[in-house]
Copies of this chain bind each other. A is one copy, B any other.
């Protein structure tokens, strides 16, 4: 009896370890928020084929890399990128530290709080705001500023924190891939340091698996002689369009087996992924659900909002090449983890 108890105790400890190290556990449906249909079937088929050692399309575990765009693919990007809202919200604090900015455009306009004028700022103005709010501090100071902002900032439409505005079907897909040995990465045109602050907590993706647009951080010393890294206004990596496969090579060093995006900025990542040998999964999300989220293209006659652009040419290319187009309206049973 003692032996049985010991064996059982051991088995119990072993089960706990199994769970802790993410060994695949049978689960009836990893994608409950996806409607049954061709898209869901294609995902399951891809995962089953690439993880079955008896299948000709089997991919060894160390090569299972999956890359996901963030804005518009993993979370909401309309009416404006979350990171840009962060930058605008930071302007008062920056102007307090550097009072000379308060009387200068575009900072003057932002400080005025005049919504229409802010919405009309040019790309050059926005870049000035981005540079002023994302550089000049240590990497730890930046992390704290972002963390504090995320804890209180709310999206204007759903009145929820931005980290709640991730798509439930994508969260399920991330978990499904990871449960099958895939290493999941974010490959975003947004700021690498910005996304790294919340990637683990929000997506289960550690900072080192976030590839993004990144400015240089310069090594130096503070007044007490402690080594610091200061964020500099010098772009190292523009992780958008062709910069996505280039960033993947720089940061990961292998071609992904699966890639998911939603706009023309993801075209090359999808193309590069899909062009690899064997079975690859290239997916692109179409925002065609104005009721539950937003509606924009201009593919398929959807409004051309200029933000997260998905052209008809890209749609046609996806269909021609066998990339999977995901319709938010038709393929997703639920958009967010909260009830709408």
Contact flags A169-192 to B (C-beta < 8 A → 1, else 0): 000000000000001000000001
Decide: A236 near B250, CB < 8 A? Known: A62-B206, A227-B272. yes
Contact residues in B for A23 (Cβ distance below 8 Å) = 17, 20-21
Chain B: CB-nearest residue to A214: B250
Chain B: CB-nearest residue to A195: B253
Contact residues in B for A251 (Cβ distance below 8 Å) = 208, 251
CA distance A18 to B12 in the complex (A): 12
- A4-30 contacts to B, CB under 8 A, are 4, 7-8, 10-11, 14-15, 17-18, 20-23
CA distance A252 to B237 in the complex (A): 15
CA distance A17 to B271 in the complex (A): 36
Decide: A227 near B268, CB < 8 A? Known: A216-B246, A246-B217, A249-B217. yes
Asked whether A242 is an interface residue with its Cβ less than 8 Å from the other chain, the reply is yes
Decide: A253 near B218, CB < 8 A? Known: A10-B11, A15-B14. no
Contact residues in B for A219 (Cβ distance below 8 Å) = 242-243, 245-246, 268, 272
Contact residues in B for A196 (Cβ distance below 8 Å) = 253
Give the dominant DSSP class at A's interface. Answer: helix
CA distance A18 to B275 in the complex (A): 36
CA distance A139 to B111 in the complex (A): 48
Contact flags A200-229 to B (C-beta < 8 A → 1, else 0): 100000111010001011110000001101
Contact flags A250-270 to B (C-beta < 8 A → 1, else 0): 111110000000000000100
User: Which of A4, A218, A229 has its CB near the most chain B CB atoms (within 10 A)?
Assistant: A229
CA distance A60 to B273 in the complex (A): 34
Contact residues in B for A218 (Cβ distance below 8 Å) = 242, 246
Contact residues in B for A208 (Cβ distance below 8 Å) = 183, 251-254
Decide: A226 near B62, CB < 8 A? Known: A18-B14, A18-B17, A21-B17. no
Contact flags A143-154 to B (C-beta < 8 A → 1, else 0): 000000000000
User: Which of A196, A206, A250 has its CB near the most chain B CB atoms (within 10 A)?
Assistant: A250
Contact residues in B for A210 (Cβ distance below 8 Å) = 253
A residues in contact (CB < 8 Å) with B:
4, 7-8, 10-11, 14-15, 17-18, 20-23, 62, 139, 183, 192-193, 196, 200, 206-208, 210, 214, 216-219, 226-227, 229, 236-237, 242-243, 245-246, 249-254, 268, 271-272, 275
